[in-house]
Chains A and B, each alone.
Chain A
Amino acid sequence: GQNIDQPTEMTATEGATVQINCTYQTSGFNGLFWYQQHAGEAPTFLSYNVLDGLEEKGRFSSFLSRSKGYSYLLLKELQMKDSASYLCAVPYGGATNKLIFGTGTLLAVQP
Chain B
Amino acid sequence: VQLVESGGGVVQPGKSLRLTCTASGFTFSGYAMHWVRQAPGKGLEWVAVVSSDGSDKFYSDSMKGRFAISRDNSKNTLSLQMNSLRAEDTAVYYCAKSPYSSAYYNCFENWGQGTLVTVSS
Chains A and B come from one and the same complex: no
